[in-house]
Chain A
Amino acid sequence: MAHADADSADGSLARTLEELDTQRIALYVVLVGLIAFYLSPLWGGVTTAFKTDAGFVQTTPLIPPTPEWFTLAPWQEAFGRLQGGLLNSVTFVIPATVLSALFGSLAAYGLTKLSWRGQVGVLVIFLAGVFLPYQSVLVPLRQFWSMVGLADLLSFAPFLAERADLIELTITHTAYGIPICTILFRSYYKGMDDEMIEAAKIDGANAFGIYRRIVFPLSLPMFAVTLIYQFTQIWNDLLFALVLITARSNYVVTQSLNELQGSLAQEYNIQMAGAFIAALPTILVYVIFGRQFAQGITGAS
């Protein structure tokens, strides 16, 4: 029943109708019903975010607001409160994403494309880091950064010293992103043809030359996957931010959103608008790069 030819080119109405027996109709009803289930929190969130305070209490949650209850105020309020967090997130997520992907690519190259003894052993060490529950490093992590005293070390540059928390977060996310990035690149490099590399070796290229001229350009599709994966992971993280960010001016977006939720006990319209604003970058990335996103999240298994 499955696995015949996929959606064929002639999607004529006649053919569609012909295909529809009761079983097929039931299948589509179930699939659409499931869409309703998966989208209901988001749909309800959108409708609520456009309602006035009285509106979300007095109207049915999934029904869009009538003109009487319609307002943009929750979005303005939420954006005002999240603005700082959004900006801080952008400044630390981008370097952490790029650095972890680059380190992962370099490590995977050294561990798969160059042959030496003990490769597999080192690889296992990289691999195991993927599954670590971050709780088991939080106390030492906090202790480590307080011992380093990054803010004092950077006192010569007040601009950086004020943002020491964010720099700590960048380095931390880079370090914890290395295992998964290495795994993603390793599976890609394992399937890569060695012909070009061998030829370049004969022409006297050294390991760095081969990486820069051949392997790196060929890994650009995997960089897309890895950058997308890391971007969503790091953008969405709350735990490391809770532990490392102390100055309110350095709060990242997940922290600001969590605070918004905590301080406005029942103001669901502002909370929902805030949730959408905070989620917008990852939703956009997901909708635009869906295939790479799926490749990234399944790459670890």
Chain B
Amino acid sequence: MDFDIRRTLTRLSRGRRRAAGSDENRTDDRPVRTDGGASSASTSASASTSGHTSRWTRLRHSEAVQAIPFWLPPALLMGLFVYGAIGWNLLISLTDWSSLLGPDYTDLSLEMYRQMPDDPSFVAAFRNTIVLLVAFTGVSLAIGLVLAILVDQNIRFENTFRTIYLLPMALSFVVTAIFWAWMYNPTTGTINVVLRGLGLDFLTRNWIGNPDTRLAAIIFALTWQFSGYAMVVYLAGLRAIPDAHYEAAKVDGASTFRMYLRVIVPQLSAATTSAAVVLMVFALKAFDFIFVMFGNNPGRSADILAVMMFRVAFSRSQWAYGAAVATVLFLLALAVVGPYLYLQYRRGDL
């Protein structure tokens, strides 16, 4: 079954020459392939019409068989850790497991989910999660769009600007949380020091110590970390818009602002959708950041489902309730990603 790569390459270059119509000195004794380098689909189609159906069916069958060792091991690993785990989590959430012993799977109920609306801690975490999702995603998209438009003005050192705006994304939440905890320090932190320096003393406050500003401070820092991502996605989108569209708008006498608002931004909807989905997934995962800043109990003002789940399960051993909170988080992610994947599938992008 082994083959010689050099022979293949030689045949390939001959095939090209043949396609160019200069095939005079064919020396090997193999039959000439007339379809050049067609894809496997068209190969099998043309072959089946020429009467070799059984042979090609067998080949296709064997390709299916041959594919198994490639995708099955990773699929099994994923099946166990991803889908198996989600199912198991769902099962655990139906028990009342809250001890160091194992869960009891014989008595299942929706009790954990019934508790949720009456648990002020859950209600606050749920509310904050939604606020974080919407505000963080919206602000990051807006800043990312502005950054992309500014960087796209045919500027010098474009690479340097882009690299610096995207840099925070290379850092871990642990690192960025440490930086921002310091930035927000009421006395020695940069934010208040700069505000005082500008004579804006009335704006200074204990940003993360104060429950009123805590969530906003978290969202601001996360936006700092991820707006560069939105910029990169928007830049790719902007580069895909033909120059003619800019020129047409100019000819029509549109101002720069109106040109972007009416002509360019509407064409970026695909970029907006995909960036929004990914940013929302980041927001749902923002656990590390809050955990490093506040530990696993950031208070009602900044608690999110991801942190609450960890606290409930891993430090209070209320495993079943933690699993139920995790299910809610999973359903939120599904509500965000499901329609997106379905749209991609419909458009044939999968």
Closest to B330 in A: A136
Give Cα distance in the complex from A286 to B170, angstroms: 7
Q: Given contacts A136-B326, A298-B233, are A1 and B82 in contact (CB under 8 A)? A: no
Does B126 sit at the interface, judged by CB under 8 A?
A: no
- Give residues 238-296 of A contacting B (CB, 8 Å): 238-239, 242-243, 254, 257-258, 261-262, 268, 271-272, 274-275, 278-279, 282-283, 285-287, 290, 293-294
Q: Contact check, A3 vs B277: say whether CB atoms are below 8 A apart.
A: no
Q: Contact check, B82 vs A117: say whether CB atoms are below 8 A apart.
A: no
Q: Contact check, B85 vs A137: say whether CB atoms are below 8 A apart.
A: yes
Q: Which residues of A contact B156 (CB under 8 A)?
A: 7, 11, 16
Interface SS of chain B: helix, strand, loop or mixed?
helix
Does A159 sit at the interface, judged by CB under 8 A?
A: no
- Give residues 133-175 of A contacting B (CB, 8 Å): 133-144, 172, 174-175
Q: Given contacts A238-B288, A290-B163, are A122 and B75 in contact (CB under 8 A)? A: yes
Closest to A255 in B: B174
Q: Contact check, A106 vs B70: say whether CB atoms are below 8 A apart.
A: yes
Q: Contact check, B63 vs A114: say whether CB atoms are below 8 A apart.
A: yes
Does B169 sit at the interface, judged by CB under 8 A?
A: yes
Does B27 sit at the interface, judged by CB under 8 A?
A: no
Give Cα distance in the complex from A44 to B295, angstroms: 24
Interface SS of chain A: helix, strand, loop or mixed?
helix
Q: Which residues of A contact B84 (CB under 8 A)?
A: 140
Does A56 sit at the interface, judged by CB under 8 A?
A: yes
Least Cβ–Cβ distance between A136 and chain B, in angstroms = 4
Give Cα distance in the complex from A42 to B178, angstroms: 11
Q: Which residues of B contact A7 (CB under 8 A)?
A: 154, 156, 158
Taking a contact as CB atoms closer than 8 A, the residue among A117, A140, A238 that contacts B172 in the complex is A238
Give Cα distance in the complex from A132 to B281, angstroms: 8
Taking a contact as CB atoms closer than 8 A, the residue among A34, A61, A132, A243 that contacts B82 in the complex is A132
Q: Given contacts A136-B330, A258-B174, are A272 and B11 in contact (CB under 8 A)? A: no
Q: Contact check, A203 vs B277: say whether CB atoms are below 8 A apart.
A: no
Q: What size tier do the contact residues of chain A reach? A: 35 or more
Does B153 sit at the interface, judged by CB under 8 A?
A: yes
Q: Which residues of A contact B11 (CB under 8 A)?
A: 199, 202-203
Q: Contact check, A41 vs B68: say whether CB atoms are below 8 A apart.
A: no
Q: Contact check, B3 vs A106: say whether CB atoms are below 8 A apart.
A: no
- Give residues 98-156 of B contacting A (CB, 8 Å): 102-103, 147, 150-156
Q: Contact check, B322 vs A139: say whether CB atoms are below 8 A apart.
A: yes
Q: Contact check, B295 vs A135: say whether CB atoms are below 8 A apart.
A: no
Does B278 sit at the interface, judged by CB under 8 A?
A: yes
Taking a contact as CB atoms closer than 8 A, the residue among B77, B169, B177, B233 that contacts A103 in the complex is B77
Q: Which residues of B contact A73 (CB under 8 A)?
A: none
Q: Contact check, B172 vs A207: say whether CB atoms are below 8 A apart.
A: no
Does B46 sit at the interface, judged by CB under 8 A?
A: no
Q: Which residues of B contact A197 (CB under 8 A)?
A: 40
Q: Contact check, B341 vs A124: say whether CB atoms are below 8 A apart.
A: yes
Least Cβ–Cβ distance between A118 and chain B, in angstroms = 9
Does A17 sit at the interface, judged by CB under 8 A?
A: no
Q: Which residues of A contact B179 (CB under 8 A)?
A: 41-42, 44-45, 272, 275
Q: Which residues of B contact A127 (CB under 8 A)?
A: 341, 350
Q: Which residues of B contact A57 (CB under 8 A)?
A: 188
Closest to B84 in A: A140
Q: A175-B80, A208-B69, A238-B174 are in contact. List 14 more A-B contacts (CB 8 A).
A: A3-B154, A56-B188, A61-B188, A131-B337, A136-B330, A138-B322, A143-B92, A196-B9, A199-B15, A200-B5, A235-B172, A236-B175, A258-B291, A275-B179
Closest 4 CB pairs of A and B: A110-B70, A236-B172, A195-B37, A116-B64
Q: List 13 A-B contacts (CB under 8 A).
A: A38-B167, A62-B193, A107-B70, A110-B67, A114-B66, A126-B75, A175-B78, A198-B38, A204-B1, A206-B66, A209-B3, A238-B174, A274-B178
